Amino acid sequence: MTEPLYRTDTYLKESEGRVLGHTPEGALRLDQSLFYPHGGGQPGDTGLLVWEGGKLVVADTRKGEAGEVVLIPATPDGPVRLPKVGTTVRQVLDWDRRHRHMRVHTALHLLSVVIPLPVTGGSVSADKGRLDFDMPNAPDDRDDIEAEMNELIARDLAVTEDWISEEELAANPGLVKTMSVMPPMGAGRIRLIRIGQGADQVDLQPCGGTHVGRTGEIGRVSLGKFEKKGRQNRRVTLLLDS
């Protein structure tokens, strides 16, 4: 398995890694990864790998087999020279892009708080995110929902993680808000993201993505229109104001 440094410290911007191997498609496997792999609606990280005598651009990060993280190099002018197996490389994250993903992803958790309906899908980008809700009729209080979102953000609530067993999750199915995607099972434990502490807690749900440390870091957001996506679904888009 690849050690997920992005989970240990979401604010880590640079780190070393050792090349474990190459894939047939020309990607890299490292012993530890600063880069978050695409999953849960959040895009894979991008950045640079630097080693003695070489450098390459990481264009995407994906999940491989058996818990591996695979770094996909950019190939603007054809094949790229990869570092040899065993080489120590310096991982340099495209931090601005990642941080915006963290802000959007955390904001989507809050969106699921102010619209307490089952979630049927979602995605994150650097400027906006969206959640699809099991919502037959669009609410007529869009401005109130947006105001409530920004009030939660302004409370500067702590965003922390906890872990529970798969058995504990099975006994508390209400923790899972997404209808289309279940938390990954088989590892024995599930990561939970908690927003707020004690009496100030507003949300607790399984999630493997990256998040900011406090809601105030998200900044002000605005909501787009509520789009109809099928008989039961409504898509709500959230945009970062800056």
**Measuring CA to CA, how many Å separate 60 from each of 38, 87, 93?**
8, 20, 11
Question: Could you tell me the pLDDT band of residue 180, with boundaries at 50, 70 and 90?
Answer: low
Question: Could you tell me the pLDDT band of residue 182, with boundaries at 50, 70 and 90?
Answer: low
Average pLDDT, the chain: 92
CATH of domain 3-93: 2.40.30.130
Q: What is the pLDDT of residue 184?
A: 59
For the chain, the domains span 3-93, 97-240
Question: Could you tell me the pLDDT band of residue 179, with boundaries at 50, 70 and 90?
Answer: low
What is the share, in percent, of the chain residues with pLDDT greater than 90? Answer: 78
103-122: average pLDDT: 96
Q: What is the pLDDT of residue 138?
A: 86
Query: Which residues share a beta bridge with 234?
Result: 133, 228
Question: Could you tell me the pLDDT band of residue 80, with boundaries at 50, 70 and 90?
Answer: confident
- Which amino acid belongs to residue 82? L
- Asked if the model's pLDDT at residue 104 lies above 80, the reply is yes
Residue with tokens 């900011």: 212
Residue with tokens 């495209």: 94
Could you confirm whether domain 97-240 is CATH 3.40.50.970? no
CB-based burial, 62-94: b 16+ in 10 Å, e otherwise: bebeeebbbbbbeeeeeebebbeeebebebbbb
Residues across the chain? 242
3-93 and 97-240: identical CATH topology: no
Q: 175 versus 126: which is more confidently predicted? A: 126
- Full DSSP string of the chain: --EEHHHH-TT--EEEEEEEEE-TTS-EEESEESSPPSBTTBPPP-EEEEETTEEEEEEEEEE-GGG-EEEEE--TTS--PPPPTT-EEEEEE-HHHHHHHHHHHHHHHHHHHHS-S-EEEEEE-SSEEEEEEE-SS--S-HHHHHHHHHHHHHTT-BEEEEEEEHHHHHH-GGG--BSS-PPP-SSSEEEEEEES-GGG--EEEE--S---SBGGGG--EEEEEEEE-SSSEEEEEEEE--
197-207: average pLDDT: 95
